[in-house]
Structure 1
């Protein structure tokens, strides 16, 4: 396991995973979050159609977890193959739920801790009691910093260092995974040109890695791909814009077009954005990933299919996961 992308379990992200090369899939164990608009509408049917015979973490988004009873949660997770599923547990989960998941899922479980939880005054007492219920060598630990501003990377690293000292026995876990997120909640960028947004997840990971190394922990990289960590609820009347999200080592390169209502997804407007990206120094080439091939074909006119907003989430996510695996492989 080289990389743990945290992805909403929605069609765009599912298509992105399905179209990855096998050599990339082999390095990835995704953490899939079921959101209210999927689980609440009965649209979650497991992962076999897009992530077959491969391990994955399964969680529900924070917003949805508050609504779910344990019984409703069991009905969701039972749609997945137990041999490949690693359920994600939280400090607020009941002992009954934890015992059931540990006993029924052969790949063990993952404990997900948010930085703000670890820094809470009562954390050590709660954690000591909670961790005593776990088989740590068969449990993965996910430390999630959620959103970190690019201007606060040093502050975040300092807080994470302090948080680590509060986690007793961290070296006993099977794997320790560190996740952060710097993609903005809304795209406040100019239209019809490329904009760059600092991508700090890799830099923050490198900053905190020595803190973990001192604890004899080999850290695994995680992020939220090309999405903000929170759940975005689409409300009727909203006017989403066509946009391309493209990951580079230091930036998220973004092209924002017109709203869908103003024809943003017409092929001529999509092609315009693709040409700007393909002719820029950021583009990796059509052979880099399935997503890059799609962008290139739309730029050159090889296809006249503009795709939907879901298609463009798949294209950007597929490129991102491929890029991060290649980046981490080269660093290793």
Structure 2
């Protein structure tokens, strides 16, 4: 099986689902599935009194409609232990994995390092010990949070990794590692700190024979105000995770090192409440950066129609725009700027647009880097 070139951590929500519409992915110049293994983060969002089971079922069915027959990592990082059991008594992860397998998705179960060693994680441990999926393409151990501290004591960290492998009877060659830095936006962590931590991890992990090791982070901040200071201005936000991955590929040429990120979004779950003072924005992936086109509060001019059009016009008139044929998202930006089909788009549609362009750009970026590096 091909080692993936790109493992994006994607929210299992409508915006990302729309970006992964198979018809839209067909615009790529090569078959995407073998080199693109998305990690779907199952959200724990539902209205009070609503059925969690129904929500999880609906999301599983949507994933299957998009990714049937293909490989997808699936995790539930944001689910609290107290909410992990669905109305039918099953743990949501067991139900999710079983449902997706039944629907034809090649599921990669994800084991959370932090959750495994959490003192209150008995239910999580029991659930993960109980999974038995001989047809799973592989398994994944996700390192974040506490792992970032544990690596400062290499022997302690190594003992923990080996205990997960032993307890779950994992085979190294059938197990990947996801080193997820999470939020690495402005003032969170520097590139130098990310490289130092990553180097410590890789010096230990490279002694094993893991299927691959993915390095992931999220440079886009929680609000556009943190990215661009002033209303109605544009500017770059450095994608630290890409800089770190490219640097590490050169430092560790013999390690199967895969690129990962959180798409064109902040990793934290969004608030469901829409604020009338929300700023319009387009997050457009470019070489090592996000080019962010910031607008102003929608309340200022009484709506979003003219505002969205102005943002799209500013982008397509910049030197960063790749053209309408680059991706489905780029086509929609063109339509918005020129008033074609009266397309404006709501916030969810713009997540899909940003994500569509991002996926295409990153796959090309990684491919180009590998070709240049191997010369």
Q: Same fold (TM over 0.5)?
A: yes
Contact conserved, 2:276 with 2:299, CA < 8 A, in 1? no
- 2:101 is paired with a residue of what secondary structure? coil
Partner of 1:61, secondary structure, is coil
2:319 corresponding residue in structure 1:
281
Q: Which deviates the most, 78-87 or 242-251?
A: 78-87
| Cα contact 2:148–2:197 (8 A) shared by 1 | no
Say which is worse superposed, 229-238 or 242-251, in terms of deviation: 229-238
Q: In structure 2, what is the equivalent of residue 53 of structure 1? A: 69
Q: CA deviation at 1:116?
A: 4.1
Partner of 1:20: 25
Structure 1 segment 111-126 matched on structure 2, within 5 A: 111-114=141-144, 116-120=146-150, 121=153, 122-126=156-160
Structure of greater relative contact order (alpha carbons < 8 Å, 6+ residues apart): 1
In structure 2, which of residues 213, 232, 243 is the aligned counterpart of residue 203 of structure 1?
243
Preserved CA contact (<8 Å) 2:335 2:343:
no
> Does the 8 Å CA contact 1:102/1:109 hold for their aligned counterparts?
no
Deviation at 1:284, TM superposition (A): 0.4
Structure 1 CA distance, aligned partners of 2:170 and 2:239? 35
- TM, length-normalised to structure 1: 0.89
Q: How far apart in 1 are the matches of 2:183 and 2:278?
A: 22
Which residues of structure 2 form unaligned runs of 5+?
117-123, 371-375
Verify the 8 A CA contact 1:265 1:308 in the aligned structure 2. Answer: no
Partners of 1:201 and 1:105 lie apart in 2 by: 32
| 1:173 is aligned to 2:210 | yes
Counterpart selection for 1:84 from 106, 116, 122: 106
| Map of 1:128 onto structure 2 | 162
CA contact (8 A) 1:265 1:307 kept: no
**More off after superposition, 59-68 vs 276-285:** 59-68
How is 1:1-332 mapped onto 2 (pairs within 5 angstroms)? 1-18=4-21, 19-21=24-26, 23=30, 25-26=32-33, 27-37=35-45, 40=52, 42-44=54-56, 45=58, 46=60, 47-62=63-78, 64=80, 67-69=83-85, 71-81=91-101, 83-91=105-113, 92-93=115-116, 96-103=126-133, 105-114=135-144, 116-120=146-150, 121=153, 122-132=156-166, 133-149=169-185, 152-167=190-205, 169-170=207-208, 172-188=209-225, 189=228, 190-213=230-253, 216-235=254-273, 239-262=277-300, 266-332=304-370
**Residue ranges of structure 1 left out of the alignment (5+ in a row):** none
* Aligned-partner SS, 1:185: coil
The structure-2 alpha-carbon separation of the partners of 1:103 and 1:250, relative to structure 1 and needing over 3 Å to count, comes to closer
Contact 2:44–2:78 (8 Å) recurs in 1: no
**How many pairs were matched up?**
329
Q: Structure 1, residues 62-115: CA drift from partner, whole Å, max 9, x if none?
A: 455674247232223333135511111123345543343343543232111126
